[in-house]
Amino acid sequence: MKVDSIVNGIVIDHIAAGKAMTLYRLLELDKLDCPVAVIQNAPSEFMGKKDIIKIDSDVDVNLDVIGYVSPNVTVNIIRNEEIVEKKHLSLPRKLTNIIRCKNPRCITTTEQGIDHIFMLRGEDRNEYRCYYCDAKP
């Protein structure tokens, strides 16, 4: 398999195996007008298997979405075929409009235009709760 190097863009590395397509959908990468490579089940010394996403364009990606779907991801910013910045992500403390509250009595369900906000409750459990009603997603 041959995937060309990126001149200017982003490489999302160390994605948990099987999570790349979830990120692809949530980040709406299908709407980009540039090459996007999704590599699944690549061998990894530390993880056993991992997924990788390469975006051959300088675009903004939602780091909270990436950290939520697969904590411990590395986001590499590429300029002139060189890594100029590495971001090591973890679970975001706050998620806004990434997941939706399922509680039918929550204000986000009954009122239009209210952001769906979830707060991280205990990093050790990876548990989020609705900011308004404390329900789990």
What residue type is assigned to position 64 of the chain? Answer: D
Question: pLDDT tens across 2-61, in order?
Answer: 566 888 999 999 999 999 999 999 999 999 999 999 999 999 888 899 999 999 998 999
Q: Report which of 63, 53, 44, 61 is spatially closest to residue 13, judged by C-alpha positions.
A: 53
Phi, psi dihedral angles at 53 (to 5 degrees): -125, 130
Give the other-Cβ count within 10 Å of 30's Cβ: 8
What does the pLDDT read at residue 106?
94
What does the pLDDT read at residue 46?
86
pLDDT band for 126, please (50, 70, 90 cuts): confident
Q: The pTM is what? A: 0.85
pLDDT > 70? residue 123: no
Question: pLDDT tens across 68-78, in order?
Answer: 999 889 999 99
pLDDT over 90, % of the chain: 79
What SS3 class is residue 125?
coil
**At CA 126, angle to CA 120 and CA 131, rounded to 5?**
25
Mean pLDDT of 80-106: 93
pLDDT over 70, % of the chain: 96
Domains in the chain, ordered, with CATH? 9-88 (3.30.70.140), 94-130 (no CATH)
CA distance 130 to 99: 10
pLDDT > 90? residue 125: no
What does the pLDDT read at residue 3?
64
